[in-house]
Amino acid sequence: MQVKQAVAHFSSQLAAAGVDHPGLEIRLLLAQALNCTTAFLLAYPEYVIPPSLLKSLQLSVERRCRREPVAYILENKEFWGLPFKVSPATLIPRPDSETLIAAALSYAKTLPASIHILDLGTGSGCLLLALLTELPKAFGIGTDQSAEAIKIARENAHHLGLTERVKFVQDNWASSLSGTYPLIISNPPYIKHLDIEGLMPEIKQFEPHAALDGGMDGLECYRQIFPGAARLLSDNGRLLMEIGDNQQQDLVAM
């Protein structure tokens, strides 16, 4: 089977399963199976796929047709232009969260270069590690309640060459930490418990609910985080957090 035939054949299977961008996603899965770039696939549509590789492509397509996110199948997601390993133990980094990185960077510019940054609920480590690549003298501590997530975050630190400047600690937010930090970041779970059922299958069936579920009103994790953050922030320090739609007023009041 040629690349262009595989793209046509498998993307129609993905489309029938309700996948949003079947043409793009089949190229991602095909590039993984062939261990090549998507540019190669566009340049060589007549390249004949070795039959031995078709089997693994077929398995990936079947997983995607069951609506498993393509990032879990590829075990990778790009964030802030960097590759991050992800697993079902970690939330998949979202482009929206790059806003938090931009805000943190503009605040960090006003601080000494060797600051220590705290990331509460680090997941794959994407936020903290992206910041550390931009702030070459800064240090970071990331916490997560999930040992599995911590393992992935450490692997990401290793791949990005950041192990010397970052530590990951298994912790329910920040209870084991002391000291003070001028910059604390967090993208906590903030979806209302009852709203999870209405999310797309990729999210509700595959992403860790512990990374999504913000309790009945969606604000439970903020309630848990604020006391620890208040204890750990240095004078004039800032806590920068991602929040959900329509949560601003309640959170500012809190």
**Of 9-17, 129-137, 163-171, 187-195, which segment contacts ligand GLN by CB under 6 A?**
187-195
Per-residue interface string for the shown chain with ligand GLN, residues 67-96, x marking contact by CB under 6 A: ------------------------x-x---
Q: How far apart are CA 128 and CA 154, in angstroms?
A: 11
For ligand GLN, the binding residue among 73, 118, 211, 225 (CB under 6 A) is 211
Q: Is residue 188 at the binding interface for ligand GLN, with CB under 6 A as the rule?
A: yes
Q: Is residue 170 at the binding interface for ligand GLN, with CB under 6 A as the rule?
A: no
Site of tokens 């990374």: 211
Q: Which is nearer to ligand GLN, 123 or 140 (CB)?
A: 123
Q: Which is nearer to ligand GLN, 68 or 148 (CB)?
A: 148
Q: Which residue is nearest to ligand GLN (CB)?
A: 123
Task: Identify residues 14-33 at the interface with ligand GLN (CB under 6 A).
Answer: none
Please give the C-alpha separations between residue 85 and each of 4, 64, 65, in angstroms, as whole numbers: 29, 18, 22
Helical H runs in the chain? 3-16, 22-34, 38-43, 51-65, 70-74, 98-108, 126-134, 147-159, 201-204, 220-232, 248-253
Closest distance between ligand GLN and the C-beta of residue 174, in Å?
14
Q: Is residue 126 at the binding interface for ligand GLN, with CB under 6 A as the rule?
A: yes
Closest Cα partner for 7 from 36, 55, 69, 49?
A: 49
Check the CA dihedral 61-209-128-222 and report its sign: positive
For ligand GLN, the binding residue among 22, 123, 214, 228 (CB under 6 A) is 123
Closest Cα partner for 4 from 34, 54, 49?
A: 49
CB 68 within 8 A of CB 206: yes
**Of 42-50, 170-178, 181-189, 231-239, which segment contacts ligand GLN by CB under 6 A?**
181-189
Structure tokens at 112: 């000494």
Q: Which residues bind ligand GLN (CB under 6 A)?
A: 91, 93, 97, 121-124, 126-127, 187-189, 211
